[in-house]
Amino acid sequence: MGANLKDKVAIVTGASRGLGREYAKALAAAGAQVIAADIKDCAETVEEITSAEHSAIGIELDVRDQESCRNMANTAVSHFGKIDILVNNAALYGSLGTGRFDTLDDKDWDDCMDVNVNGIWRCSKAVINSMRENKSGSIINISSLAALAGLPYALHYSTSKAAVIGMTRAMARELGKDWIRVNAVGPGPINTPMLSDPTEGNPEQFGGMVPMQRIGTPKEISDAVLWLFSPQSSYVTGHTLMIDGGFCAQ
């Protein structure tokens, strides 16, 4: 059964490309009114959604700045009247320097934590009053296989994504009494433009490391996200769903 999100209002951060764009498109196709938010231009994401006769607007968002996060939430409420869904997807990875943990640059470490961890905290703070007023809401924080498997030479990223899981559990415990659910998704190797970038390796190489012997598709991730926002998962909160072809089960 497909998710029916008619009349729901959804914010997706980091929505200008990759999985963020896929989440935004999937939510819109399920009937949600979508706010695509990113520090980069979301015009292409919005165009793909509206050309399919679904509803979306784009907004500039810097998750490092609380005022920018508040503006995102205020824009959603002024346009659509409420906020039902938040996908905390914005994150740093490809732009970070890598290396042995004791050689990592201090600025890369701080930037990674500020976006990947503090950004989720700031965006969640910005939307929570609307969700509390509605006595309903659902937040999904995007973690990674790095949180459980650990990525060598990327301690900052692995640490930030492990923190996302801890935040998810604590937020779920706090917000259950407000009828707000908080879950996380941990994607494994997924066929996105970043994975196909020659500087990042190649899909075949990653697929050989997965028990299912292939990389995942964006639809397999977005379908799981839709399920976590649907009534079918109404008793699920504080959970991290690893969608990784068994990578972290090894």
Tell me the per-residue pLDDT of 179-213, one tens digit each, with 9 for 90 and over: 999 999 988 877 776 554 444 445 555 656 776 67
Residue 235 annotated in active site: no
Say which of 23, 93, 153, 157 is annotated catalytic: 157
Distance CA 166, CA 187 (A): 16
DSSP H or E stretch at residue 184:
strand 180-187
Distance CA 125, CA 212 (A): 38
Mean pLDDT over all residues of the chain? 90
Contact 20, 12 (CB under 8 A): yes
Residue 57 three-state SS: strand
63-88 mean pLDDT: 98
